[in-house]
């Protein structure tokens, strides 16, 4: 692992961003618990699917925030340091996000 790769192995999120992400993830966690309860209580399938879609949308929102920050900090810094391998990593990350 190169020095520049190690350099960005920790996030660079502000406290406000961490709080925002944590709040969003707590909400998703609550949604997932609610979906589990819906299934246990034999709630109508379409209603469960609607809640699943809402949870997925919330997770996608978290991913977009993280990707935006990653591109503006880690990717930018590594490119400025001459580490073009970060582009392959970024493509792989975006491909993972697009699998659905």
Give the up-direction half-sphere exposure of residue 20: CA atoms within 13 A in the CB hemisphere: 12
Mean of the pLDDT values across residues 30-50?
98
Cα–Cα distances in angstroms (integers) from residue 64 to residues 1, 11, 21, 24, 78, in the given order: 26, 15, 11, 12, 20
Rg of the chain taking only CA atoms, in angstroms? 18
Global confidence as pTM: 0.81
Mean of the pLDDT values across residues 67-71?
94
Query: What are the residue ranges spanned by the domains of the chain?
Result: 15-98
Is residue 27 pLDDT above 70, yes or no? Answer: yes
pLDDT of residue 96: 93
Give domain 15-98's CATH architecture.
Up-down Bundle (1.20)
pLDDT band at residue 88, thresholds of 50, 70 and 90?
A: very high
């Amino acid at each position: 692992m190169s020095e520049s790769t190690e350099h960005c192995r920790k996030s660079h999120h502000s406290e406000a961003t961490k709080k925002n992400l944590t709040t969003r993830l707590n909400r998703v966690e609550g949604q997932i618990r609610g979906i589990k309860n819906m299934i246990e209580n034999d709630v109508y399938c379409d209603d469960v699917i609607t809640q699943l879609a809402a949870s997925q949308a919330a997770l996608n929102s978290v991913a977009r925030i993280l990707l935006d920050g990653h591109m503006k900090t880690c990717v930018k810094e590594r490119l400025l340091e001459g580490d073009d391998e970060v582009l392959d990593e970024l493509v792989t990350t975006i491909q993972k996000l697009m699998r659905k």
